[in-house]
Amino acid sequence: MDLRYTEAEESFRAELRAWLDEALPKLPPKPDRNDWPGRRAYDTTWQRMLFDAGYAGIHWPVEAGGKGATPTEHLIFLEETERAGAPYVGANFVGLLHAGPTINAAGSEEQRRKYLPGILSGEDVWCQGFSEPGAGSDLASLRCRAVRDGDEYVINGSKIWTSHAEVADYCEMLVRTDQDAPKHKGITWLIVPMDTPGITIRPLETVMGTSEFAEVFFDDVRVPVANRVGDENDGWRVTMVTLSFERGTAFVSEVVASQRLLHELAELAKKVTRKDATAWDDVALRRELGHLTAEFEALWALTKWNVSEAARAGMPGVGGSVFKLRFSETKQKLYELAHRLLDRAALVVEDVAGLPSGDLMDERLSSLSYTIAAGTSQIQRNIVGERILGLPKER
Amino acid sequence: MDFQLSDDQRDLATGVREFCEGRFDRDRMRNLVDHDRKPGMVDKKLWQELAETGFFSLRVAEDEGGVGLGTAEAALVYEEAGRALLPGPLVATHLAASLGGELGAGAASGELIVGVVEGDASPILVEHLDALDVLLILDEDGIRKVAPADVAGTAVKNPVDPFTPLHHVEALPEGELVADAETAARFRREGAVLTAAVQLGIAGKLTELATQYAKEREQFGRIIGSFQAVKHLCADMLVRTEIARAAVYSAAVTLDDPVVGDAAVAVPTAKLMADDAATRNGKDATQVHGGMGFTWEVDVHLYLKRAWVHATQYGDADDNEEALAATL
């Protein structure tokens, strides 16, 4: 067990820090949360800066145009960019972390040439069409269908929870191409240009009152058969290939950000008063801050453990669900604590009386999704119970 | 960075597990508690075997007759001790072996069984007194040594853990100062990490016991582990164990190589996460076992009670949370 970074890893970190110092001041101002074209422009500008500096697709293989970084270098990259306050992957998420790696692993040479460069340079933004109103945790029960008509597929149905749909160029989509096959065997993975006729986008309003994602409707949407990745009816396997790219780094930025927030909340606790003492003088509250310090320190250690395991094995270990379960619930507790600290200022989703209740309550509301998105905590517990502990499935 | 067990570390953990299974299997563990209770609940023959295996001399330098390994390796060994529910003041004697001189040499070789007590505890409850050769008192000035015969205490009739007999002591004798305050602080840090490792072993074993039972027990015509309500309890136990594992190993590595982290955060984190995992897994393992979990016959309560003992040693949850808050 060695927690020391190698010389090569340290020089990677030093170079990255030097570049971040120079690059970040050149960024345009951050757009408003509801300004989707502005957000796309901001996120893709950052992606272009990474591309020009050779950091685009940090964890992608070199032959796909990436940097071919090791899992540990990827961890350092995410840690340092977050510490420096650099933009998050944002609108480039689906392209960089999902569609791109999938096309590289399961697509044709022509597809790789056509789609990968635009993802790396920030030219193209991708969205995801997997979930449906009737297919959430049970994704494989999806019903949006594609029927073959000569050299084209004709798509009919709807998708939901699609982030960046309004500003995306392409959609990675799972469609049903065989109605009669067992549910996992009749699915196909398609690339759908978002300007294809027949696509309607309806923003979904979240609990924050903002539209973080959309419903997307497909009415006789025609895409060439050449847009299929992998074989017809083999889309479930293609999707599983995507999951195999995870190297334990999925939550690095968020753990670093949570640790920073914890320090900010401690500062806030020392300022806000309760009767004649500060919140920090409240033993229960102070101990909760101490407890959360331990939680995030342990999650940071588990991140290094999982990344090291993936680096050794060349594939993800079983730790992803374990990590996600604890992290999502702990991060919710962090915002519950923020809420407690704000007291009645928590009733206002904007800064009030000199308190940062705007961002904190916005994030507090957003945090309700952590235990739902990307696999609910209940599904994660099934995965841990069945795949790690070997308990039988419920019949 | 390679935060995974090396081949040598894996071999060490496997070797210690095999030793424990061979010398202190379930039958011998149950025999000690149910039929053949020893004074102070220390089996001297087993103690000697533990000493020969290197439990106490593990971190003593090779040129001083020790094994010359680090805290990371010691954590792996003490995790196995927790898994096997090895009784006695193992961590205290291990720490005493680092003191050098006759006391250190005696602790390392297994000739001296050494206990530790916090001088400012209230009430003062000394563990395993009837088995001790030396009692060390940790306080602000350092470490003081007293002869167990000079400790005027009353044996507690009903200690919660049958493996951890206690004496209630009104006032500890002054004793002889054998180490400075810095060494006492080191004892607390290392004691916290190694006790956390014991708790990690207990947490992991409880997860195994519960999962095993959930795979065997049938009700309503089904294996109860197929019910999500039961499955999710087991999953939570595993999550707690793995979080504790990362925290404990990370703290142990940090004590060996201080530049990789901040011991002021890593050590209380390890103890807090491991105490939490062991005690809460004890409760959940009892629940998964249903009525049988409430019986003396099933081992779960023995692990839970031991976890409660360890949770008070070298810093409890109050201490650790306050220590961590102080780093913010």
Predicted pLDDT of residue A274: 82
The partner residue sitting opposite A394, judged by closest CB among B211, B226, B265, is B226
Domain spans of chain B?
183-325
Chain segment B161-208, per-residue pLDDT in tens: 999 999 999 999 999 999 999 999 999 999 999 999 999 999 999 999
**Cβ–Cβ gap B325/A294 under 8 Å:** no
Q: How far is B142 from chain A (nearest CA, A)?
A: 27
Using a CB-CB cut-off of 8 Å, the residues of chain B touching A72 are 1
Chain segment A235-278, per-residue pLDDT in tens: 999 998 877 777 889 899 999 999 999 999 999 999 998 888 99
Instruction: Tell me which of A278, A293, A312 to substitute to probe the interface with B (most B C-beta atoms closer than 10 Å).
Output: A293
B215 touches chain A (CB under 8 A): yes
Instruction: Tell me which of B79, B233, B242, B245 to substitute to probe the interface with A (most A C-beta atoms closer than 10 Å).
Output: B242
Identity of the residue numbered A169: D
A322 touches chain B (CB under 8 A): yes
**Cβ–Cβ gap B266/A322 under 8 Å:** no
State mean pLDDT over A22-40. 93
Alpha carbon distance A298, A302 (integer Å): 6
Residue A33 banded pLDDT, cuts 50, 70, 90: confident
What is the ipTM for the molecules in this complex? Answer: 0.97
Alpha carbon distance B237, B281 (integer Å): 5
What tokens does A53 get? 């500096």
Predicted pLDDT of residue B98: 96
Does position A395 have pLDDT exceeding 80, yes or no?
no
State mean pLDDT over B47-63. 96
Pinpoint the alpha helices (H) of chain A. Answer: 7-23, 36-53, 71-83, 93-94, 100-106, 109-121, 235-243, 252-271, 283-313, 319-342, 357-366, 377-383
Chain segment A365-382, per-residue pLDDT in tens: 999 999 999 899 999 999
State mean pLDDT over B73-82. 98
The partner residue sitting opposite B231, judged by closest CB among A287, A312, A382, is A382
Mean pLDDT of chain A: 95
B155 touches chain A (CB under 8 A): no
Does position A394 have pLDDT exceeding 90, yes or no?
no
Using a CB-CB cut-off of 8 Å, the residues of chain B touching A318 are none
- Give the residues across from B134 on adjacent strands: B114
Domain spans of chain A?
7-88, 126-233, 252-388
State mean pLDDT over B80-87. 98
Using a CB-CB cut-off of 8 Å, the residues of chain A touching B328 are 262-263, 266, 289-290, 293
User: What kind of fold does domain A126-233 have according to CATH?
Assistant: Butyryl-CoA Dehydrogenase, subunit A; domain 2 (2.40.110)
User: What kind of fold does domain B183-325 have according to CATH?
Assistant: Butyryl-CoA Dehydrogenase, subunit A; domain 3 (1.20.140)
B227 touches chain A (CB under 8 A): yes
**Cβ–Cβ gap B250/A386 under 8 Å:** no
**Cβ–Cβ gap A1/B4 under 8 Å:** yes
B315 close to B191: Cβ distance less than 8 angstroms: no
Does position B243 have pLDDT exceeding 80, yes or no?
yes
Residue A34 banded pLDDT, cuts 50, 70, 90: confident
Chain segment B264-287, per-residue pLDDT in tens: 999 999 999 999 999 999 999 999
**Cβ–Cβ gap B222/A326 under 8 Å:** no
Distances (CA, A) of B275 to A378, B196, B199, B248, B268: 25, 7, 6, 11, 10
Percent of chain A with pLDDT over 90: 91
CATH of A252-388, one of 3.40.50.300, 1.10.20.10, 1.20.140.10, 3.30.450.260: 1.20.140.10
Does position A292 have pLDDT exceeding 80, yes or no?
yes
Predicted pLDDT of residue A313: 85
Chain segment A12-29, per-residue pLDDT in tens: 999 999 999 999 999 999
Q: How far is B90 from chain A (nearest CA, A)?
A: 24
The torsion of the CA quartet B32, B34, B36, B39, rounded to 10 degrees, works out to: 70
Predicted pLDDT of residue B201: 98
Percent of chain B with pLDDT over 90: 99
Predicted pLDDT of residue A247: 82
Does position A317 have pLDDT exceeding 90, yes or no?
no
**Cβ–Cβ gap A297/B320 under 8 Å:** no
Alpha carbon distance A256, A13 (integer Å): 16
Q: Which range is least confidently modeled, A275-279, A313-317, B76-80?
A: A313-317
Does position B10 have pLDDT exceeding 90, yes or no?
yes
Predicted pLDDT of residue B65: 87
- Give the residues across from A188 on adjacent strands: A175
State mean pLDDT over A341-352. 96
**Cβ–Cβ gap A297/B254 under 8 Å:** no
Alpha carbon distance A335, B120 (integer Å): 37
Predicted pLDDT of residue A276: 86
- The angle subtended at Cα A307 by Cα A302 and Cα A313, nearest 5°, is 125
**Active centre residues of A (catalytic):** 246
- Per-residue b or e along A209-218, where b marks 16 or more CB atoms closer than 10 Å to that residue's CB: eebbbbbbbb
Predicted pLDDT of residue A246: 79
Predicted pLDDT of residue A315: 75
The partner residue sitting opposite A287, judged by closest CB among B235, B266, B325, is B325
